[in-house]
Amino acid sequence: MDTRIYQFENKASYSRGRMNNEEALFHWQNTPFYDLASAADQFKKVKFPEKQVSYTMFRIINYTDVCDIECNFCSFMKSVESKKGYVLTIDQILEKTNEAWQKDYRQIFFQGGVNPQIPFDYYLNALNSMKTKFPGIHIRAFSPVEIREFSKLTQRSIENVLTDLRQAGLDSFPGAGAEILSSRMRNILSGKKTTPQEWYDIMAAALHLGLKASTNIVWGSVETAEEIIEHLSMIRKLQDETKNILSFVPWTFQQQTKGFKVRHVPSHEYLKMISLSRLYLDNIDHIEVSLLVKGKQVGELALYSGADDINSPVYEENVLRSYGLSNEQECIEFIKEAGFEPKRRSFNFVYGEKS
Ligand code: SF4
């Protein structure tokens, strides 16, 4: 193993050279988490010399729980045939947006199942209505699999669909639905979802159009170490090509159904992922720690392992079991108690601005 880039024998030493895939795999499998954390913390301090940690506040609006993609880890979806699902009306969406606005949440994460019964106009109308009534709101919406279905539904190109949505009010695009970008894992988890290449191409189309995005990894099932590095490699390549990815968020699978295997991801492995992300994804500025899945204590350590942002107070979380922060004050206290200066940010990581 060539350790010329990261000399962990000397923990104070790291280089700004790019970690290659072989090295990333070696470190994931062999390097103790505390050595990676030390290197990642130093690397973070080069990018962010001030001792600050940022947060934003957003509300999730799940406009429908009807979905025909059938990911086997998802307990949220209802099949079309079951007739048990819901679709929010535009009025209900506006009511939820208003509740968020009144509580000073300025960002809406608008996402739902892939519901073949909803016409494309519904989405345009929803975005338009939210923007008209709340011009200051930031709408982060949809995911590659939804965009693929809109494209099929309207017989329009991915670029045209994204442009329509953008004109209606879409501000940014979450890189959701990636989980682990390997064909083998895709077939195990969600055979009907976008293939890794489809996910990549739709993300690239959105990012090339100028939409900013966050990205993530979800692991803790039967993925291999090689597949984890393959995933990180696709994310880094996407950013090399587009430059519009703002952040990367490591998540772990939650046991929502009995349909697939979830293994316990120990805290040191979660922290190792935070550190490896910081070091390997050298072209993505912000690494977010998700308090939703790992809680405050691991979250504190993540801020010393390469993370510079917390995955924020979230209003209404239908999909995941939550260890999150329930309001801004709690968020500010958490960051201060961890030893950092809290900075509220916009989605675009403009500090001091709300969205
Ligand atoms: S994760 Fe999303 S795409 Fe998959 S079944 Fe659930 S709602 Fe549908």
CATH, residue 187: 3.20.20.70
Asked whether residue 355 is domain-assigned, the answer is: no
Asked whether residue 128 is domain-assigned, the answer is: yes
pLDDT band at residue 9 under the 50/70/90 scheme: very low
Residues forming a β-bridge with 60: 109
pLDDT at 80 over 50: yes
DSSP 44-96: HHHH--S-EEEE--EEEEE-B-B-SS--TT-SS-B-TTTT---B--HHHHHHH
Q: What is the DSSP letter of 64?
A: B
Nearest-angstrom CA–CA distance, 334 and 133: 33
Nearest atom in ligand 1 to 145's CA: 3
What was the pLDDT predicted at 16?
A: 54
Work out whether the CA dihedral 139, 164, 218, 47 comes out positive or negative.
negative
Asked whether residue 8 is domain-assigned, the answer is: no
* Cβ–Cβ < 8 Å for 334, 86: no
Distance 71 CA to ligand 1 centre (A): 5
* Cβ–Cβ < 8 Å for 346, 354: yes
Nearest-angstrom CA–CA distance, 254 and 112: 18
pLDDT at 164 over 70: yes
3-state secondary structure of 162: helix
Please give all residues whose beta carbon lies within 6 A of any atom in ligand 1, as ranges: 67, 69-71, 74, 76-77, 113-114, 145, 190
Provide the strand spans (E) within 33-106: 52-55, 58-62
What share of the chain has pLDDT > 70, as a percent?
93
Residue 319 main-chain phi, psi, to 5 deg: -100, -35
Range of the domain at 144: 21-344
Residue 148, both tokens: 């693929």
Residues forming a β-bridge with 173: 213
> What element of type H or E holds 133?
helix 120-133
Asked whether residue 16 is domain-assigned, the answer is: no
Asked whether residue 143 is domain-assigned, the answer is: yes
Q: How far is CA 117 from CA 66, 68, 153, 175, in A?
A: 9, 10, 10, 24
Distance 69 CA to ligand 1 centre (A): 6
Asked whether residue 351 is domain-assigned, the answer is: no
Return the closest-CA partner of residue 176 out of 137, 138, 147: 147
Asked whether residue 354 is domain-assigned, the answer is: no
Q: Tally the domains of the chain.
A: 1
Query: Which residues have CB under 8 Å from 89's CB, separation 6+?
Result: none
Nearest atom in ligand 1 to 190's CA: 4
* Cβ–Cβ < 8 Å for 249, 310: no
224 Cα distance to chain centroid: 21
Nearest-angstrom CA–CA distance, 77 and 332: 34
Asked whether residue 40 is domain-assigned, the answer is: yes
Nearest atom in ligand 1 to 74's CA: 6
What was the pLDDT predicted at 260?
A: 84
pLDDT band at residue 46 under the 50/70/90 scheme: confident
Return the closest-CA partner of residue 285 out of 249, 245, 251, 312: 245
Nearest-angstrom CA–CA distance, 132 and 127: 9
Q: What is the DSSP letter of 338?
A: T
Distance 146 CA to ligand 1 centre (A): 10
pLDDT at 128 over 90: yes
The pTM of the full predicted model, rounded to 2 decimals, is 0.93
Q: Which long-range contacts (CB under 8 A, 24 or more apart) does 77-86 make?
A: 77/113, 78/113, 80/115, 80/116, 80/117, 85/113, 85/115
Residue 171, both tokens: 């501000």
Residues 299-346: tens digit of each pLDDT: 999 999 999 999 777 887 665 445 568 888 989 999 999 999 999 999
Distance 333 CA to ligand 1 centre (A): 34
Distance 96 CA to ligand 1 centre (A): 22
